């Protein structure tokens, strides 16, 4: 096969190029993983020159931060659900959280710094973004539990959603019979505890 | 500073070199992360030539598999605890699991394939190893719950331990007041569910 010709340069309105670059970055991320997330490749996909891309994202870490910001905003949107009833009040939040992880596996991993140790360990911005979804769940718990119980309950909920989401996207769980119901059943136990049979 | 001189070659009894290489690999892994896990560096630390190291581990992936095997065996040992009482029967397992993750953060991540995508996605051996701790918890649940509830309950327990462990080693949780008690309180909720106040 002959080498692909360079695509013609595209022109973008101010602001649109940033979004086009993020869109291209997200495609690369989900298709090929974080190690392929280079600015040259992203620029090529968006049909612009590398310097144009550098104008918006000065480094690979800046691009990762942009993606994480987008992910955090989308995730917060997904968590805008109606609470359930009684002991299952938080179930819709858990399901929305895990569904986001399953729909955006590489983006979710990136939001936790995988493939980007500098972002993971040093960037306060990324850390703050990660807390956003946690805060939504915590705010809901504050309406339901005594104040002193909220921090532990919120961490419990976050841990179960984070752990279940990661086990699922890692392929650790055989989801062939009924994946959606499986998540539902597991998350119900967060409401009832282990000793109440999951019906 | 002048370059460090090569250390004198050590000699090992048969079998001991493999353990010495794994020990060196584990030090590198926890100190510097998976990207520094090269056979030359490991050989240097163990005080032997690179070909001697290759004799035991033919590739970086083989070394990772050796580390994951060691980790799975140690983790199974850590989970040999006495069950708790009543609704908290599984609490000691959860605490032992999370303690293992906190003590061996990089090893635990490696056991889930981080930094080693080939190992993560293609190696059935690693996959089987990861299931070992899961099976220990499942066997315990089988003695306590109706058979049909065990798969969901086991996945629930695994998800909470996996998620809590990862959030802690990612530095997502402020553990400055009382880290040990925090894990205890969060895991108690796995027994009682969210709506029973954690005392």
Model pLDDT, residue B62:
87
The proportion of chain A whose per-residue pLDDT surpasses 90, expressed as a percent, equals 38
Any A CB within 8 A of B170 CB = yes
The proportion of chain A whose per-residue pLDDT surpasses 70, expressed as a percent, equals 84
pLDDT (average), residues A56-82: 89
Question: Does position A119 have pLDDT exceeding 60, yes or no?
Answer: no
Three-state secondary structure of A162-192: HHHHHHHHCCCCCCCCCHHHHHHHHHHHHHH
pTM for the whole structure: 0.87
Least confident of A178-182, B48-52, B72-76: A178-182
Model pLDDT, residue B156:
93
A61-192 has CATH 2.160.10.10 classification = no
Predicted complex ipTM:
0.86
The answer to whether residues B116 and B130 touch, using CB atoms and an 8 Å cutoff, is: no
Give A-chain residues touching B170 at CB under 8 angstroms. Answer: 112-113, 120
Length of chain B: 199
Any A CB within 8 A of B198 CB = yes
CA pair distance A107, A103, nearest whole angstrom:
9
pLDDT band with cut points at 50, 70 and 90 for residue A180: low
Which of A110, A131, A163 is the best residue to mutate to test the B interface, defined by the most B CB atoms within 10 Å of its own CB? A163
Model pLDDT, residue B118:
54
Model pLDDT, residue A4:
57
Closest CA to A25 of A16, A34, A15: A34
Which of B143, B160, B170, B197 is the best residue to mutate to test the A interface, defined by the most A CB atoms within 10 Å of its own CB? B160
Q: What is the least distance, in Å, from the CA of A108 to any CA of chain B?
A: 14
pLDDT (average), residues A70-92: 88
Model pLDDT, residue A107:
93
The answer to whether residues B189 and A193 touch, using CB atoms and an 8 Å cutoff, is: yes
Which of A106, A156, A166 is the best residue to mutate to test the B interface, defined by the most B CB atoms within 10 Å of its own CB? A156
Chain-chain contact of B160 with A156 (C-beta, under 8 angstroms): yes
CA pair distance B68, B126, nearest whole angstrom:
7
Give B-chain residues touching A169 at CB under 8 angstroms. Answer: none
Least confident of A140-154, B121-135, B161-175: B121-135
Q: How many CB atoms lie within 10 A of CB B154?
A: 22
DSSP for residue B145:
S
Backbone angles phi, psi at B114, to 5 degrees: -70, 130
Give B-chain residues touching A117 at CB under 8 angstroms. Answer: 33
The answer to whether residues A128 and B166 touch, using CB atoms and an 8 Å cutoff, is: no
Model pLDDT, residue A121:
47
Angle ∠(A108,B183,A186) on CA atoms, nearest 5: 55
Question: Does position A123 have pLDDT exceeding 70, yes or no?
Answer: no
The proportion of chain B whose per-residue pLDDT surpasses 90, expressed as a percent, equals 38
The answer to whether residues B190 and A188 touch, using CB atoms and an 8 Å cutoff, is: no
The answer to whether residues A73 and A111 touch, using CB atoms and an 8 Å cutoff, is: no
Inter-chain CB pairs, A–B, below 8 Å: 130
Least confident of A34-38, B126-130, B131-135, B173-177: B173-177
Instruction: Please report the residues numbered 73 through 112 in chain A whose beta carbons come closer than 8 angstroms to any beta carbon of chain B.
Output: 86-87, 90, 112
- CATH of span B16-58: 1.10.10.60
Question: Does position B35 have pLDDT exceeding 60, yes or no?
Answer: yes
Please name the residues in contact with A124: beta carbons below 8 A apart, sequence gap of 6 or more. Answer: none
User: Could you state, in order of their start, the residue ranges of all structural domains in chain A?
Assistant: 16-58, 61-192
pLDDT (average), residues A175-197: 76
Q: What is the least distance, in Å, from the CA of A14 to any CA of chain B?
A: 36
Any A CB within 8 A of B164 CB = yes
Question: What would the pLDDT profile of B56-114 be if each residue is shown by its tens digit?
Answer: 998 888 888 899 889 998 999 999 898 888 878 889 999 999 999 999 999 998 888 76
Q: What torsion, rounded to 10 degrees, do the Cα atoms B145, B148, B150, B152 define?
A: -130
């Amino acid at each position: 096969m002959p080498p692909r010709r360079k695509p013609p340069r595209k022109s973008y309105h101010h602001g649109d190029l940033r979004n086009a670059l993020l869109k291209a970055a997200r495609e690369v991320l989900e298709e090929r993983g974080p190690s392929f997330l280079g600015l040259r490749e992203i620029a090529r996909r968006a049909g612009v020159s590398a310097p144009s891309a550098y104008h918006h994202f000065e480094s690979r870490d800046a691009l990762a931060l942009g993606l994480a910001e987008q992910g955090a905003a989308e995730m917060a949107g997904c968590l805008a659900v109606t609470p359930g009833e009684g002991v299952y009040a938080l179930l819709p939040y858990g399901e929305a959280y895990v569904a986001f992880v399953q729909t955006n596996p590489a983006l979710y991993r990136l939001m936790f710094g995988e493939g980007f140790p500098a972002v993971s360990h040093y960037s306060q911005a990324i850390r703050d973004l990660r807390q956003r979804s946690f805060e939504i769940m915590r705010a809901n718990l504050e309406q339901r539990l005594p104040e002193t119980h909220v921090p532990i309950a919120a961490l419990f909920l976050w841990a179960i959603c984070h752990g279940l989401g990661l086990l699922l996207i890692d392929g650790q769980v055989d989801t062939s019979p009924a994946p959606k119901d499986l998540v539902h059943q597991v998350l119900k136990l967060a409401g009832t505890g282990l000793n109440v049979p999951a019906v």
